[in-house]
Amino acid sequence: AQTVTQSQPEMSVQEAETVTLSCTYDTSESNYYLFWYKQPPSRQMILVIRQEAYKQQNATENRFSVNFQKAAKSFSLKISDSQLGDTAMYFCAFTGNNAGNMLTFGGGTRLMVKP
Amino acid sequence: NAGVTQTPKFQVLKTGQSMTLQCAQDMNHEYMSWYRQDPGMGLRLIHYSVGAGITDQGEVPNGYNVSRSTTEDFPLRLLSAAPSQTSVYFCASSYSDTEALHFGNGTRLTVT
């Protein structure tokens, strides 16, 4: 069974600074997909970024980028130029190939962006 | 586009009562799933479906039942509510088994 670990329960960052959220996972599969989801206080789950394991290039979406280290089974999220609206819970998630899109989630990191 | 619609948004049940959480999507997605979110534990998969007429169990299926008679709808039934089922429930859907999930806005359920 796959596991996803987020070792930082809470983090804070000053507005306009950069912060990195950590995620590690355990799997025996060679092809899989990784995601970061954001959950603001509204409770809505919002996709931040998606990474395909067979792609060497790290995914980016505007101010959000990942550092995907396949050998180390690490998938960290970097948020540049942090904004107050980035305050939220962030979840890392994993799904294998042909897994029926069953996601395994980490426990989450609560990020506070301070003015 | 409505996306994934969950009803109700909030519900309070007494122990032993039954109820159905509704989930509908209008994106013609084949894959649908139910997750529960408890503090400090992220989201855990309850049941999922890869198409109409096909369902399977996830990580925490006990006490829940599902069916998928149409592509659009995927209701979750609590057979006999217990306090341990107090949680926030999310329904999600996707076009394929590797694309990102689209989530509903969740249902906060309290069982007293």
Q: Which residue of B has its CA nearest to A99?
A: B97
Under DSSP, the state recorded for B16 is T
Q: Which of A2-11, A20-29, B39-48, B84-93 has the lowest mean pLDDT?
A: B39-48
Q: Is the pLDDT of residue A81 over 80?
A: yes
DSSP string, chain A: --EEE---SEEEEETTS-EEE--EEE-S-SSEEEEEEEE-TT---EEEEEEETT--SPPEETTEEEEEETTTTEEEEEE-S--GGG-EEEEEEEEETTSTT--EE---EEEEEE-
Q: Is A71 on the interface with B (CB under 8 A)?
A: no
pLDDT digits (tens, 9 = 90+) for A25-77: 999 888 899 999 999 999 999 999 999 999 889 999 999 999 999 999 999 99
In contact, B92 and B43? CB cutoff 8 Å: no
Q: How far is the alpha carbon of B41 from chain A, nearest alpha carbon, in Å?
A: 5
